[in-house]
Protein backbone atom coordinates (compact mmCIF):
# COMPACT_ATOMS: atom_id res chain seq x y z
CA UNK A 1 0.00 0.00 0.00
CA UNK A 2 1.38 3.39 -0.99
CA UNK A 3 -0.05 6.85 -0.31
CA UNK A 4 0.77 9.73 -2.63
CA UNK A 5 0.13 13.44 -2.78
CA UNK A 6 0.64 15.81 -5.69
CA UNK A 7 1.09 19.56 -5.89
CA UNK A 8 1.22 21.70 -9.00
CA UNK A 9 2.81 25.03 -9.77
CA UNK A 10 3.60 27.08 -12.86
CA UNK A 11 6.40 29.27 -14.08
CA UNK A 12 7.24 31.06 -17.30
CA UNK A 13 10.60 31.09 -19.02
CA UNK A 14 12.35 31.07 -22.36
CA UNK A 15 14.95 28.68 -23.75
CA UNK A 16 16.39 27.26 -26.89
CA UNK A 17 17.68 23.76 -27.37
CA UNK A 18 21.28 23.15 -28.36
CA UNK A 19 22.28 20.34 -30.73
CA UNK A 20 18.72 20.11 -32.00
CA UNK A 21 17.49 20.60 -35.55
CA UNK A 22 14.02 22.07 -35.67
CA UNK A 23 11.88 24.92 -34.37
CA UNK A 24 12.99 24.44 -30.76
CA UNK A 25 16.57 25.41 -31.59
CA UNK A 26 15.22 28.97 -31.87
CA UNK A 27 14.50 31.10 -28.82
CA UNK A 28 10.96 30.45 -27.56
CA UNK A 29 9.04 30.37 -24.30
CA UNK A 30 6.67 28.22 -22.29
CA UNK A 31 4.28 28.53 -19.42
CA UNK A 32 5.54 25.39 -17.70
CA UNK A 33 3.29 23.39 -15.39
CA UNK A 34 5.12 21.38 -12.75
CA UNK A 35 3.70 18.40 -10.85
CA UNK A 36 5.52 17.07 -7.83
CA UNK A 37 4.53 13.76 -6.24
CA UNK A 38 5.56 12.62 -2.78
CA UNK A 39 4.72 9.13 -1.54
CA UNK A 40 5.13 6.91 1.49
CA UNK A 41 3.87 3.52 2.48
CA UNK A 42 3.03 4.77 5.97
CA UNK A 43 1.33 8.01 6.98
CA UNK A 44 2.78 10.32 9.63
CA UNK A 45 1.14 10.94 13.01
CA UNK A 46 -1.48 13.41 11.69
CA UNK A 47 -2.33 10.97 8.87
CA UNK A 48 -0.48 12.63 6.00
CA UNK A 49 2.25 11.77 3.53
CA UNK A 50 3.44 15.36 3.86
CA UNK A 51 1.84 18.74 4.41
CA UNK A 52 0.73 20.12 1.01
CA UNK A 53 1.78 23.62 2.09
CA UNK A 54 5.31 22.46 2.94
CA UNK A 55 5.73 20.72 -0.41
CA UNK A 56 4.35 23.65 -2.38
CA UNK A 57 6.56 26.12 -0.49
CA UNK A 58 9.69 24.08 -1.25
CA UNK A 59 8.70 23.72 -4.91
CA UNK A 60 8.01 27.44 -5.32
CA UNK A 61 11.43 28.25 -3.84
CA UNK A 62 13.08 26.14 -6.58
CA UNK A 63 10.90 27.64 -9.30
CA UNK A 64 11.88 31.18 -8.27
CA UNK A 65 15.30 30.42 -9.78
CA UNK A 66 13.65 29.62 -13.14
CA UNK A 67 10.66 31.93 -13.37
CA UNK A 68 10.92 34.66 -16.03
CA UNK A 69 14.47 33.60 -16.86
CA UNK A 70 16.23 32.67 -20.05
CA UNK A 71 17.03 29.12 -18.95
CA UNK A 72 20.16 28.84 -21.09
CA UNK A 73 21.70 31.53 -18.84
CA UNK A 74 20.90 29.69 -15.58
CA UNK A 75 24.18 28.21 -14.31
CA UNK A 76 23.02 24.57 -14.41
CA UNK A 77 21.72 24.86 -17.97
CA UNK A 78 24.89 26.40 -19.33
CA UNK A 79 26.26 22.83 -19.31
CA UNK A 80 23.00 20.85 -19.53
CA UNK A 81 20.56 21.33 -22.41
CA UNK A 82 17.34 22.90 -21.02
CA UNK A 83 15.00 20.18 -22.25
CA UNK A 84 11.82 19.30 -20.36
CA UNK A 85 13.54 16.13 -19.17
CA UNK A 86 16.51 18.04 -17.77
CA UNK A 87 14.28 20.67 -16.18
CA UNK A 88 12.42 17.86 -14.38
CA UNK A 89 15.74 16.46 -13.11
CA UNK A 90 16.93 19.91 -12.03
CA UNK A 91 13.77 20.45 -9.96
CA UNK A 92 13.96 16.92 -8.52
CA UNK A 93 17.61 17.34 -7.54
CA UNK A 94 16.87 20.66 -5.86
CA UNK A 95 13.96 19.19 -3.87
CA UNK A 96 15.25 15.76 -2.84
CA UNK A 97 17.32 16.92 0.14
CA UNK A 98 14.30 18.76 1.57
CA UNK A 99 11.57 16.25 0.72
CA UNK A 100 12.54 12.73 1.77
CA UNK A 101 9.30 11.28 0.40
CA UNK A 102 9.83 12.80 -3.08
CA UNK A 103 8.71 10.38 -5.79
CA UNK A 104 8.66 12.26 -9.10
CA UNK A 105 8.67 15.58 -10.89
CA UNK A 106 6.71 16.05 -14.11
CA UNK A 107 7.25 19.06 -16.35
CA UNK A 108 4.50 20.00 -18.81
CA UNK A 109 5.61 22.34 -21.60
CA UNK A 110 2.09 22.44 -23.04
CA UNK A 111 -1.24 20.69 -22.53
CA UNK A 112 -0.22 17.52 -24.36
CA UNK A 113 3.54 17.08 -23.78
CA UNK A 114 5.36 16.33 -20.54
CA UNK A 115 8.52 14.74 -19.19
CA UNK A 116 8.90 13.02 -15.80
CA UNK A 117 11.94 12.30 -13.66
CA UNK A 118 12.03 9.89 -10.74
CA UNK A 119 14.72 7.86 -9.02
Return d(Cα 60, Cα 94) in angstroms, integer. 11
Q: What pLDDT band is residue 1 in, cutting at 50, 70 and 90?
A: confident
Q: Where are the beta strands (DSSP E) in the chain?
A: 3-15, 28-40, 69-70, 102-110, 113-118
- Residue 35's nearest CA partner among 11, 2, 69 is 11
Predicted confidence (pLDDT) per residue in 6-36, tens digit: 999 999 999 999 999 988 899 999 999 999 9
CATH superfamily of 3-118: 6-pyruvoyl tetrahydropterin synthase/QueD (3.30.479.10)
Full-prediction pTM beyond 0.85? yes
The catalytic residue positions are 24, 68, 109
Predicted confidence (pLDDT) per residue in 42-101, tens digit: 999 999 999 999 999 999 999 999 999 999 999 999 999 999 999 999 999 999 999 999
| Region label for 33, one of left (φ > 0), alpha (ψ between -120 and 50) or beta (otherwise) | beta
Amino acid sequence: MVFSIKVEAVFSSAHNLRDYKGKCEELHGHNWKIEVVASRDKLDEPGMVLDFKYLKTKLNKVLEKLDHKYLNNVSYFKKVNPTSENIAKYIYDNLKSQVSSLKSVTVWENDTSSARYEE
